[in-house]
Amino acid sequence: MDPKAVKTDLVLILDFGSQYTHLITRRIRSLNVFSLCISGTSPLETITKLKPRVVILSGGPHSVHTPESPGFPDGFIEWAESNGVFVLGICYGFQLLVHRLGGEVKVGLKQEYGKMEIHVENACGLFGWKNVGSKQFVWMSHGDEAAKLPNGFEVVARSDQGSVAAIQNPSKKFYGLQYHPEVTHTPEGMETLRYFFFEICKVTAGWKMENVLDEEIRVIKDTVGPQEHVICALSGGVDSTVAATIIHKAIGDRLHCVFVDNGLLRYKERERVMETFEKDLHLPVTCIDASDQFLKALKGVTDPEMKRKIIGKEFICIFDSFAQDLELKLGIKPSYLVQGTLYPDVIESCPPPGSGRNHSHTIKSHHNVGGLPKDMKLKLIEPLKLLFKDEVRQLGRIMDVPEGFLKRHPFPGPGLAVRVLGDVTEDNALDILRQVDEIFIRSIKDAGLYDSIWQAFAVFLPIKSVGVQGDKRTHSHVVAIRAVTSQDGMTADWYNFEYKFLADLSTKICNSVPGVNRVVQDITSKPPSTIEWE
């Protein structure tokens, strides 16, 4: 999908490492405005080519006073002014704007973290919909503060402690908020963003999934030649299935789907998925059993990142082999490989800016992003790589993908390899985990909770504990259960089950799965943890 072809003004976010940066992206898209996030230290050419209507400078864990602190490229200010581009600095981005335009940022006498109250001093511009003296609670997270504003700027709001909370220079179209309007802890934050985009910036809203579908089909037709064939890696999940359905609409029977049983699937996943592909989705799918190949390559491997790399490499080897077989059959060598990579996959696999590696750290390499070999023979098509999970589901509904399939919880590309902590080939870990996971998911569905949970799964832990089963002492495995609520997987909170559900589940697992005598629950949010255990 070409961002410049979307029927809306682009809001471009320059990421300086805030944990909330990608929440800004989601909030803006919820206003039917297309937003895109790139590294804050991207070259000026990269920024200008996208032709944004608005640029947002994100927050981040840095101080403008440190030598290694990230910043926008030289020439950015001049380009924004000469092209009438609106600029909004948030938190660190606010301080960066003040600092680079000749103002003064210093360590605050009273640092502000968490919920704070601010009051409006100037009922125009950013707060043109408010009255002077109006108050609201906002979410602050800063130690530095603006001590002196650049020429032409005015204070729009202050905190109750007296620090500058909002500034503006309407003639230059530069604005700044010291707080985070994108988080739910700032109750009026969305109203502020809505007013800023539509009343101040006059942004045109046109971000619709129907437009995305039409544009993506056009891009695919333009990319794939009339005689070229495409291979699609189907995992059985929502992402790859929606991606395959789009490609099928674009090029028809020149799409060849392949489903690989890598030995790391859930309980009866292969049979269930193949039935859905054939009966409901009518996609042409070849099933390849490569269980032995994957498990042999993974034997003895315990590092989760290494597992992902190995699995990515084995997948590509299989796809290359499949392509060769197709070439013999068709007389034409397939040119492309389709994958259901999502925007969060790209975000988490790329190191964004401030630590020497750019602002945020690589959280994990996704097998379809960070695990691809450099010498891969097939060219990639990733029709969903600018979309979040809920947007992919919307796209699937437009294409009449069955609702029950769209509501399936996400399943990681590396499968159970990242849910077995340790060597997947030892201690009958995979079989035990499949049984536990099946009981857990079935119990959730029977209780009518499945659609209220974003993702639920079981984890095989690399420890054993003492138990008593059948009046005998046991030394058996410990398994964990995890269920989270989320909008897009970028942040998540743990699901609070009723005690009776947990008690019944624990009893059911320990009585039904040989080798398990203890069940624990993960009650950690993301952040600080990730959703998967790895």
pLDDT digits (tens, 9 = 90+) for 335-369: 898 988 887 776 655 544 444 434 443 333 344 44
User: 417-459: per-residue pLDDT in tens?
Assistant: 999 999 999 999 999 999 999 999 999 999 999 999 999 999 9
Identify which of 227, 225, 228, 232 has the alpha carbon closest to the alpha carbon of residue 246.
232
Identify which of 221, 217, 95, 220 has the alpha carbon closest to the alpha carbon of residue 164.
95
Whether the bond between 528 and the residue before it is cis, its omega within 30 degrees of 0, is: yes
Binding site, annotated residues for ATP:
235-241
Catalytic residues: 91, 180, 182
With bands split at pLDDT 50, 70 and 90, how would you rate the model's confidence at 52?
Answer: very high
For residue 124, how many other CB atoms are within 10 A of its CB?
14
For residue 527, how many other CB atoms are within 10 A of its CB?
11
Q: Environment class of residue 293 by beta-carbon count within 10 Å: exposed (0-12), middle (13-18) or buried (19+)? A: middle
User: 15-41: per-residue pLDDT in tens?
Assistant: 998 877 878 888 898 899 988 888 899
> Beta-strand (E) ranges in 386-512?
455-469, 472-485, 493-494
Question: Poorest-confidence range of 9-13, 196-200, 268-272, 529-533?
Answer: 529-533
Regarding pTM above 0.75, the answer is no
More confident residue, 390 or 268: 268
More confident residue, 470 or 158: 158
Binding site, annotated residues:
235-241
| Predicted pLDDT of residue 208 | 83
pLDDT > 70: percent of the chain: 91
Count, residues in the chain: 534
User: 90-141: per-residue pLDDT in tens?
Assistant: 999 999 999 999 998 887 666 566 788 999 998 888 888 888 889 999 888 7
| Predicted pLDDT of residue 224 | 93
| Predicted pLDDT of residue 116 | 85
User: 153-164: per-residue pLDDT in tens?
Assistant: 999 999 888 889
Q: Mean pLDDT of all residues in the chain?
A: 87
| Predicted pLDDT of residue 249 | 92
Structure tokens at 46: 């990269």
With bands split at pLDDT 50, 70 and 90, how would you rate the model's confidence at 4?
Answer: low
108, 130 contact by CB (below 8 A) = no
Alpha carbon distance 409, 500 (integer Å): 23
| Predicted pLDDT of residue 106 | 84
Identify which of 450, 402, 445, 412 has the alpha carbon closest to the alpha carbon of residue 278.
402
Alpha carbon distance 502, 499 (integer Å): 5
Give the DSSP H/E element, type plus range, for residue 142. Answer: strand 135-148
Identify which of 11, 22, 28, 35 has the alpha carbon closest to the alpha carbon of residue 488.
22
pLDDT at 313 over 70: yes
More confident residue, 440 or 393: 440
